[in-house]
Amino acid sequence: MTTESTPLPTPIPIQRPTNSSAQQPTPLPFGRRRQADDPAEWLERYSADACDDEQLLSLVLGNGSAARRMARRLIDRFGSLSDVMRAHPVELRLAGVAAAVAPRLAAAAEIGLRIARVFPERPWLIRTPTDVAEPLVDAMGALEREELRVLLLDTKNVVTATRTVYRGNLAGSSVRVGEVFHDAVRCSAAAVIVAHNHPSGDPSPSAEDLRITGELAEAGRLLDIELLDHLIIGRGRWTSLRALGALAQPPATMR
């Protein structure tokens, strides 16, 4: 495995396809490739968590090329998406946002705040594989297509963000190591946890699951971003490859 960041490593299969005619898997692109796609089509194809800040803001503004230009201008002017959403409607109008659109941004920001208030204030702290698995079994156990998600953790093992980096089909999937660690590098994460589901419902690891775990662990060591675990999610069941010894780490307690 090469230590160069570019080009990306060759695709690593997670689960070998059982049907040669099955639709090819769809990795989620990142970086500048996003800018070539229509935000609405991107969201419909990959879901909202695959959109960047500019895409999401442009959809609230109205979509289309003019909305995307306005979104880019607002983020540049205010400094970040959160600062744009906290801006007063008068400030937004002075920045060029139409009078009918500025209240829409304020309403979207308030919706986000109200939703955030209903979530537990306690951070998602990871000490054992069970701490990871319990929320993911409900979220991923019944999915009909295979997904690969990456949890970003800080130095205290608190989950700071989750990313869906891949959606595939029932037959199998392949991902690039660079895609798994892309946001971890960008966000300066201290560690990551990878999870993918088996739509069959059986969380037993395949040979490919074990192989990719080794590849990701090695990549994490090169990047100084520890792979804490790789979980396989089934229907109501899950398997921790850390607990199986695939990471050569203590199975019960993480760091």
Nearest to 163 by CA among 49, 48, 42: 49
The helix (run of H) or strand (run of E) holding residue 131 is helix 129-140
Extents of the domains making up the chain: 12-16+122-240, 52-118
- List Cα–Cα distances, 148 to 18, 97, 173, 209, 235, in angstroms: 19, 38, 9, 12, 16
β-partners of residue 88 are none
The predicted-structure confidence for 56-115, as pLDDT tens digits, reads as follows 899 999 878 889 899 999 999 999 888 898 888 889 989 999 988 888 888 888 887 776
The predicted-structure confidence for 239-254, as pLDDT tens digits, reads as follows 999 999 888 765 555 6
Based on the number of CB atoms within 10 Å of its own CB, is 78 exposed (0-12), middle (13-18) or buried (19 or more)? middle
DSSP 188-210: T-SEEEEEEE-TTS--PPPHHHH
Based on the number of CB atoms within 10 Å of its own CB, is 225 exposed (0-12), middle (13-18) or buried (19 or more)? buried
Query: What pTM value is reported for the model?
Result: 0.57
Distance between CA 117 and CA 203 in Å, rounded?
34
Q: State in words which class domain 12-16+122-240 has.
A: alpha beta
